[in-house]
């Protein structure tokens, strides 16, 4: 149940080259039935790219679907021209190559389609994969890094099926308001997933790749665990939790100590849907106690707000309208223009009843406040997606380090994919003065 690692081809100049083949597939999720799916280099979901800071990577996206698509590198801080967004289309049976250098902190990033108005359906069909980025610091901390053994990626999703066992991605009014959720839980594309680990400290790298479901992750014995990283960086220090909220688009890395459970089973579950998500079998062997690093990193790059510019965004959703600042996404309109190098304060306001995960492309941010109060302890790192609850205003310090031209602007949007596709999204450029 662990996604394979995609080996890079090393080109002459040291560039790591990856081929992502976007294709149709079939998977037996329900016994005796084949579901039509999409996948990357396989039937459902895609392989993991393991990369390091300062790597130059080249990605070849080959689209063999019968429709156009485009792949977005969620969390990568790269220029707009290297990213996939609704302003770019990889038409059926064509390819798109892009090459860039990674210059950002260690983080769990991911890739998924971002095609105009079809993102939700294409992700639902199975297009998503992980990008695991390490740096000197993350590798020096003695954290578990044995992929699939003590360093386990978990891609959380849910699906619903029709009577022919096909994905039911119908778009009723209710679906687009509430987002499409399902009663079948998947981890790494597997129904009823099962994981075997040694009785020691295990690192779980979690991605919420569901279209709309918010998870509240807990263990069946209510045990404590430690969050060590969020979307875009390590946390300054491990944060002790019993429950972790993860909204669509968000990532978290946790350390869980299973050393007392030799020979026993434990469940990872979602306390909002009251369902078990993952059955973990702890092997019978000699427990190994590992100690937790006290400090993980120092986040200092957002200390200085060097631009007086304040921007406000209202997340608008009611029975009649869905958008941001009273506007629906329009490919021909640039909503905000930003000067490269600036760190600005963005204020995101949700006066509606539904919580929305707000995401910004090509950069990361630090959460300054939630309704004027300090953000949660496990949000003290850098992020690119933040859940904004009903009647909440969240302030962010956002730093814009790369260029996004009028032809390849960045997006900000709600990461409930049905909201995004319905127009809860805007575009911005980042340019030198
Ligand atoms: Cu993960 Cu614009 O998206
Ligand atoms: Cu993104
Ligand atoms: Cu939303």
**43-88 per-position pLDDT tens digit:** 999 999 999 999 999 999 999 999 999 999 999 999 999 999 999 9
pLDDT category of residue 301 using cuts at 50, 70 and 90:
confident
Number of structural domains the chain divides into: 3
Final residue before a domain boundary, out of 238, 263, 282: 282
What's the mean pLDDT in 162-186?
A: 94
Ligand 1 pocket list (CB less than 6 A):
72, 74, 112, 114, 249, 359, 361, 411, 413, 415
Percent of the chain whose pLDDT exceeds 70: 100
What are the C-alpha distances in Å from 314 to residues 44, 324, 334, 393, 417? 35, 6, 17, 9, 18
Give the closest residue (by CA) to ligand 1 atom 3. Answer: 74
The answer to the question of residue 145 being in a domain is no
Tell me, in angstroms, the distance from the centre of ligand 1 to residue 109's CA. 11
- Judgement on whether residues 20 and 119 belong to the same structural domain of the protein: yes
- Judgement on whether residues 132 and 175 belong to the same structural domain of the protein: no
Which pLDDT value is given to residue 304?
Answer: 80
Which pLDDT value is given to residue 345?
Answer: 96
pLDDT category of residue 275 using cuts at 50, 70 and 90:
very high
- Judgement on whether residues 99 and 220 belong to the same structural domain of the protein: no
Mean pLDDT of the chain, nearest integer: 97
The answer to the question of residue 301 being in a domain is no
- Judgement on whether residues 37 and 98 belong to the same structural domain of the protein: yes
Final residue before a domain boundary, out of 83, 103, 136: 136
The rounded distance, in Å, linking the Cα atoms of 342 and 361 is 15
Tell me, in angstroms, the distance from the centre of ligand 2 to residue 266's CA. 33
Which ligand sits closest to the CA of 423? 3
Which pLDDT value is given to residue 319?
Answer: 86
What's the mean pLDDT in 6-19?
A: 97
- Judgement on whether residues 177 and 236 belong to the same structural domain of the protein: yes
pLDDT exceeds cutoff 90 at 303: no
Per-residue tokens: 99: 């090459």
pLDDT exceeds cutoff 80 at 170: no
Tell me, in angstroms, the distance from the centre of ligand 3 to residue 44's CA. 25
The answer to the question of residue 3 being in a domain is no
- Judgement on whether residues 328 and 256 belong to the same structural domain of the protein: no
- Judgement on whether residues 79 and 23 belong to the same structural domain of the protein: yes
- Judgement on whether residues 326 and 375 belong to the same structural domain of the protein: yes
The answer to the question of residue 146 being in a domain is no
Which pLDDT value is given to residue 416?
Answer: 98
Q: Is 136 exposed, middle or buried (0-12, 13-18, 19+ CB in 10 A)?
A: exposed
The rounded distance, in Å, linking the Cα atoms of 71 and 69 is 7
- Nearest atom of ligand 1 to the alpha carbon of 110: 1
What are the C-alpha distances in Å from 155 to residues 51, 167, 245, 281? 18, 18, 14, 19
The answer to the question of residue 175 being in a domain is yes
The rounded distance, in Å, linking the Cα atoms of 365 and 305 is 12
- Nearest atom of ligand 1 to the alpha carbon of 411: 2
Which ligand sits closest to the CA of 420? 3
Q: What is the pLDDT of residues 318-377, one digit of tens each?
A: 988 999 999 999 999 999 999 999 999 999 999 999 999 999 999 999 999 999 999 999
- Nearest atom of ligand 1 to the alpha carbon of 420: 2
- Judgement on whether residues 164 and 246 belong to the same structural domain of the protein: yes
Which pLDDT value is given to residue 152?
Answer: 98
Which ligand sits closest to the CA of 249? 1
- Judgement on whether residues 334 and 269 belong to the same structural domain of the protein: no
CATH number at residue 239: 2.60.40.420
The answer to the question of residue 350 being in a domain is yes
Instruction: Find the largest Cα–Cα distance for the chain.
Output: 62
Give the closest residue (by CA) to ligand 1 atom 1. Answer: 74
- Nearest atom of ligand 1 to the alpha carbon of 385: 1
Tell me, in angstroms, the distance from the centre of ligand 1 to residue 198's CA. 35
- Nearest atom of ligand 1 to the alpha carbon of 74: 1
The answer to the question of residue 293 being in a domain is no
- Judgement on whether residues 273 and 162 belong to the same structural domain of the protein: yes
Tell me, in angstroms, the distance from the centre of ligand 2 to residue 385's CA. 8
First-last CA distance in the chain = 48
pLDDT category of residue 306 using cuts at 50, 70 and 90:
confident
pLDDT category of residue 411 using cuts at 50, 70 and 90:
very high
What's the mean pLDDT in 170-185?
A: 92
Which pLDDT value is given to residue 103?
Answer: 97
Q: What is the CA angle 409-49-420, rounded to 5? A: 35
Residue appearing with tokens 């200390």: 303
Q: What is the pLDDT of residues 250-268, one digit of tens each?
A: 999 999 999 999 999 999 9
**Which protein residues have a CB closer than 5 Å to ligand 3 (ion)?**
356, 414, 416, 419
Poorest-pLDDT segment among 145-159, 296-310, 373-387, 417-431: 296-310
- Nearest atom of ligand 1 to the alpha carbon of 361: 2
pLDDT exceeds cutoff 90 at 425: yes
- Judgement on whether residues 332 and 273 belong to the same structural domain of the protein: no
For residue 419, report the phi and psi dihedrals to the nearest 5 degrees. Answer: -70, -45
101: containing domain: 9-136
pLDDT exceeds cutoff 90 at 394: yes
């Amino acid at each position: 149940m662990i996604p394979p690692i995609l080996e890079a081809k090393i080109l002459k100049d040291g560039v790591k080259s990856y081929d992502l083949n976007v294709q149709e597939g079939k998977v037996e999720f329900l016994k005796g039935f084949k579901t039509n799916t999409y996948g990357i280099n396989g039937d459902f979901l895609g392989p993991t790219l393991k990369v390091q800071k300062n790597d130059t990577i080249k990605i070849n996206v080959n689209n063999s679907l019968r429709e156009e698509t485009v792949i977005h590198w969620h969390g990568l801080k790269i220029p707009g021209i290297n990213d996939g967004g609704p302003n770019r289309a990889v038409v059926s049976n064509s390819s798109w190559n892009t090459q860039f250098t990674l210059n950002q902190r260690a983080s769990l990033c991911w890739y998924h389609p971002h095609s105009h108005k079809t993102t939700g359906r294409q992700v639902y069909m199975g297009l998503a994969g992980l990008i695991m980025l390490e740096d000197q610091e993350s590798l020096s901390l003695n954290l578990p890094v044995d992929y699939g053994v003590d360093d386990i990626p978990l891609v959380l999703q849910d699906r619903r099926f029709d009577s022919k066992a096909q994905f039911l991605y119908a778009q009723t009014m209710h679906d687009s308001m509430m987002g499409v959720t399902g009663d079948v839980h998947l981890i790494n594309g597997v129904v009823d997933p099962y994981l075997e680990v040694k009785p020691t400290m295990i690192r779980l790298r979690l991605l919420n790749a569901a279209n709309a479901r918010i998870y509240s992750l807990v263990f069946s014995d209510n045990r404590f665990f430690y969050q060590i990283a969020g979307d875009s960086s390590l946390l300054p220090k491990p944060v002790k939790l019993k429950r972790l909220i993860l909204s669509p688009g968000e990532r978290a890395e946790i350390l869980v100590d299973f050393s007392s459970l030799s020979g026993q089973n434990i469940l990872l579950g979602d306390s909002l849907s009251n369902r078990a998500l993952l059955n973990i079998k702890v092997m019978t062997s000699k427990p190994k106690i590992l100690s937790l690093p006290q400090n993980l990193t120092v986040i200092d790059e957002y200390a200085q707000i060097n631009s007086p510019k304040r921007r406000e965004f209202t997340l608008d959703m009611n029975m009649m309208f869905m958008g941001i600042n009273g506007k629906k996404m329009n490919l021909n309109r640039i909503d905000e223009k930003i000067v490269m190098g600036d760190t600005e304060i963005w204020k995101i306001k949700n006066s509606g009843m539904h919580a929305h995960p707000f995401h910004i492309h090509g950069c990361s941010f630090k959460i300054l406040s939630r309704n004027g109060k300090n953000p949660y302890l496990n949000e003290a790192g850098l992020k690119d997606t933040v859940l904004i609850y009903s009647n909440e205003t969240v302030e962010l310090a956002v730093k814009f380090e790369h260029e996004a031209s009028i032809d390849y602007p960045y997006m900000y949007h709600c990461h409930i994919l049905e909201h995004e596709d319905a127009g809860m999204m805007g575009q911005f450029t980042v340019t030198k003065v």
